[in-house]
Every structure is written in C-alpha cells, then in structure tokens.
C-alpha cells in the first residue's frame, strides 16, 4: 500500500498555517477615515443648505416657489441622511448574512482571531 507521501509530495499530516502576504488593516483604516470624512462633508452640506434656506427667506429654486423649494430641500435631506445611514449599515448587514452561513468552527475561529476593538 502506498503512503500519502508517495501520492502527495510535500504534504505533512499536521497541516500548515497560511502565509500572510498582505496586511490590509492600514488600508481598511484609511478607507474608513475617508468614508467618515465624506459622510461628514455631506451632512455639513445639508446643514449649510438648510441654514441658507432658513436665514434667507427669498431663497428658492428658480423653477419653483418657496414652498416647493422647501419640500425639495426636505426630500434632499432625507435622501442624504438615508444614504449615510445605509452606507454604514449595508456592509454590516451583508457581513452578518454571509456569516450566518458559516459553520460553528468557522465562527469560533473568526471570533478568536478578530481583535477586540473591531468587534461590535
């Protein structure tokens, strides 16, 4: 009878850990900072437009009256706040959906290797 060495050269019975090729923590941290900056800029823009419409009673869109302009600003506010909310929550929801398909061993391994500060 042939052994595993004869069939698969280089395979050892104990297995081996994967080699880390790239550490993406700094890239993820930078992307999160940029997303936070983008979201803050969007919210600042919404507040600035609201302040303009509140302080300047004659402000309106050229093709709409004051009431219609205020309704458009309110709708814009809702869209921007919704975009910020969903851009933060959708990746989390997708990760939970994918993680729900993992077996118990994968969940345990992920929970033990994940740094404490990144857990929620």
How many Å apart are CA 39 and CA 80, to the nearest integer?
A: 9
- Nearest CA-CA partner of 88 in 29, 20, 32: 32
pLDDT at 98: 84
Question: Tens digit of pLDDT for each residue in 76-88?
Answer: 888 888 888 888 8
Is residue 6 in a domain?
A: no
Is residue 12 in a domain?
A: no
Is residue 73 in a domain?
A: yes
Is residue 39 in a domain?
A: yes
Is residue 79 in a domain?
A: yes
Residue with tokens 């009256």: 65
CB 70 within 8 A of CB 50: no
Is residue 68 in a domain?
A: yes
Q: Which domain holds residue 83?
A: 22-115
* Cα dihedral 88/90/91/97 (nearest 10): 140
pLDDT at 117: 52
The pTM assigned to this predicted structure is: 0.54
How many Å apart are CA 112 and CA 89, to the nearest integer?
A: 24
Q: What is the pLDDT of the chain when averaged over all its residues?
A: 78
CA distance to 4, 16, 99, 111, 115, per residue, from 105 (Å): 26, 17, 12, 10, 18
Question: Tens digit of pLDDT for each residue in 22-51?
Answer: 778 889 899 989 988 988 888 898 888 888
Is residue 3 in a domain?
A: no
pLDDT at 8: 66
- Indicate the length of the chain as a whole number: 120
How many Å apart are CA 89 and CA 35, to the nearest integer?
A: 13
Structural domains counted in the chain: 1
């Amino acid at each position: 009878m042939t052994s595993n060495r004869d069939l698969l050269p280089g395979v050892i019975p104990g297995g081996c850990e994967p080699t880390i090729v790239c550490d993406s923590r700094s890239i993820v941290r930078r992307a999160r900072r940029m997303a936070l900056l983008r979201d803050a800029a969007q919210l600042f823009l919404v507040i600035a437009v609201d302040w303009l419409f509140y302080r300047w009673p004659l402000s309106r869109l050229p093709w709409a009256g004051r009431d219609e302009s205020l309704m458009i600003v309110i709708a814009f506010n809702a869209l921007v706040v919704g975009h910020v909310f969903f851009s933060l929550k959708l990746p989390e929801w997708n990760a939970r959906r994918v993680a729900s398909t993992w077996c118990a061993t994968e969940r345990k391994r992920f929970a033990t290797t994940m740094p404490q500060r990144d857990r929620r």
